[in-house]
Amino acid sequence: MQGIQDPKLIKHFSYINGSWHSSETEFDVTNPATGDVIAKVSNAGIAETELAVKSAKAALAMWSEKSANERAHLLRNWFNLMMQHQDDLGRILTLEQGKPLAEAKGEIAYGAAFIEWFAEEGKRVYGDTIPGPSADKRIIVIKQPVGVVASITPWNFPNAMIARKAAAALAAGCTFVVRPAAQTPLSALAMAELAERAGIPAGVFNVVTGDDAHGMGEVLTQHPDVAKFTFTGSTAVGKLLIAQCASTVKKVSMELGGNAPFIVFDDADIDAAVQGAVASKYRNAGQTCVCTNRIFVQQGVIKEFTEKLTASVAALNIGNGLTDGINIGPMISKSAADGVNKLVTESVAAGAKIILGGNIDQAGENFYQPTIMTNVTNDMPIAANEIFGPVSPIICFTYEAEVIAMANDSPYGLASYFYARDIGRIWRVAEGLEYGMVGINEGIISNAAAPFGGMKQSGNGREGSKYGLDDYLEIKYLCMGGLDK
Ligand code: NAP
């Protein structure tokens, strides 16, 4: 683990009830850029996951009874420590996940921003009073923490996907257990080390690392002491976990897959659209749920847009994320790169044309070339599936209504983007897109103050913003009677 200033941030054990917990076996964490094993991490399983849930349950009363100010103070400490250690946390993230170091540091700042934001928002858990149905009654509404929150997070944002959930849960007064993806446990454990240094009490934030996703998932979704389960990952796994949560009727939040349309209308600022497309498509080597997946371009500007996009994408540098000047790191695994290549190859067989890239890169078997394809139709594999790789399929359209119908022709409804200048069109398209988030003349839309989440099979619930706190709160109605004079 070269270049880490504070080696104590590198942890190998699960963090349960405020202590580091070793297990009998270990699993390897590898650097996707080199294939090197960078750490061996304790392989927790069902027993450790149950222990973490018990610890979170035991800590619940103590944490939920603290004032919002006290919790905010501790969360603020955690935020400060994450920012103080941004370089180290970014480096750990690049080593286990692959994204370029500047992007990794950006993710640390993005994750920390949720902790800072929810620390303050936790002070605004307001209730309500409602006029009673008769003179002797009053209706009062209070909000209380849901209880123990369990979560499973993916490898593509090893810090931010945890921070987004834990910040809201802890601010609301809930305690928290996370099982991070087995590919990226180190970022989660470094967060636990900093939570401890921040003074967050034992049992409030627990991390269990292990490669038995299924077994640990069963505990987190079915344990009677877990009140709420929150997941970020694929739609297929999300459906399975929702079903598992049914037996104990848990509150559930799901941040699942996407198939984001990116629409460029004739009246768009084409240079801005190109810049937005590159930012929303090629970040994290195309491995984000809000990545542009299908680029629809109106007939009149398709030549100009395609030429300019190709010039911009051709200038992106692919390689090890720790090397200066790299824009595109490795994909998480060989099978991920092979999966993208399969979608490209099948679409070429169906009539699409590759105008840039289109293959595994010589940098290594995990690297996929930044790619642009034209002559694509909405039903080709590269458009119908979530690509999760650095490929831009370009689809030509003529009419506004036609492109809205094509954009909505997907089971997903997470992020969408369009570039236009006509104000009437902007409202029609924004309202017509069946997506939880719409970037209008903007390719980067996530931030702590905004509600992040999807419609349709992209999930339910929202993360970030005042709406994100509600996912961790119960509404309780107090009916006060007997108030006759
Ligand atoms: P995935 O296969 O669903 O994995 C996500 C997490 O679920 C990992 O921690 C994984 O563990 C775990 N998991 C897998 N099978 C499980 C099971 N049977 N029971 C319990 N846990 C299980 O997703 P992925 O392909 O790694 O991640 C990419 C997906 O996440 C994409 O579809 C992307 O769009 C989505 N995503 C959505 C958002 C959002 O906010 N909407 C954000 C980021 C990513 P292991 O890795 O250890 O197997």
According to CATH, the topology of domain 260-447 is: Aldehyde Dehydrogenase; Chain A, domain 2 (3.40.309)
End-to-end CA distance of the chain: 73
Q: Per residue in 233-254, is it b (16+ CB within 10 Å) or e — as a string?
A: bebebbeebbebbeeeebbbbb
Give residue 434's pLDDT. Answer: 98
| Burial of 389 per CB tally in 10 Å (0-12, 13-18, 19+) | buried
Query: Does the global pTM surpass 0.95?
Result: yes
Domain boundary assignment for the chain: 7-256+458-477, 260-447
Q: Are 145 and 56 in contact, with CB atoms under 8 Å apart?
A: no
Indicate the SS3 state at residue 417: strand
Task: Give how far Cα 87 sits from Cα of 81, 94, 106, 252, Å.
Answer: 11, 11, 10, 34
> Which of 14, 156, 465 has most ligand 1 atoms within 8 Å of CB, for mutation?
156
Angstrom distance (rounded) from CA 323 to CA 365: 18
Q: Report the candidate in 6, 216, 204 with the shortest Cα–Cα distance to residue 90.
A: 6
Instruction: Tell me the residue length of the chain.
Output: 485
Do 76 and 256 touch, CB atoms closer than 8 A? no
Neighbours of 283 (CB within 10 A): 23
201 CA to middle of ligand 1, Å? 29
Q: Cβ distance 382 to 393 under 8 Å?
A: yes
Catalytic residue annotation? 255, 289
State the distance from the centre of ligand 1 to the C-alpha of 237, rounded, in angstroms.
Answer: 7
State in Å: Cα 239 to ligand 1 middle.
11
* Closest ligand 1 atom number to CA of residue 414: 41
Residue 485, pLDDT score: 75
- Protein residue with its CA nearest to atom 42 in ligand 1: 289
Residue 209: what pLDDT? Answer: 98
For residue 220, give the ligand 1 atom closest to its CA.
Answer: 20
- In the reported structure, the alpha carbon of residue 218 is separated from the centroid of ligand 1 by a whole-number distance in angstroms of 15
Give the Å distance between the CA of 457 and the centre of ligand 1: 14
Mutate to test the pocket of ligand 1, among 216, 256, 284, 446 (most ligand atoms within 8 A of CB): 256
CA distances from 122 to 74, 398, 430, 469 (A): 12, 48, 31, 8
Longest dimension (CA), the chain: 85
Tell me which residues of the chain have a pLDDT lower than 70. Answer: none
Q: Which atom of ligand 1 is nearest to the CA of 152?
A: 9
Topology of the domain covering 7-256+458-477: Aldehyde Dehydrogenase; Chain A, domain 1 (3.40.605)
Kindly list the protein residues whose Cβ atom lies closer than 6 A to any atom of ligand 1. Answer: 152-157, 161, 181-183, 213-214, 217, 232-234, 237, 240, 255-258, 289, 386, 414, 454, 459
314-371 pLDDT, tens digit each = 999 999 999 999 999 999 999 999 999 999 999 999 999 999 999 999 999 999 999 9
- Best probe residue, ligand 1, of 244, 289, 338 (max atoms within 8 Å of C-beta): 289
Quote the pLDDT of residue 93: 98
Residue 484 has a pLDDT of 84
Find out whether 200 and 78 touch, Cβ atoms under 8 Å: yes
What distance in angstroms lies between residue 27's CA and the mean position of ligand 1's atoms?
19
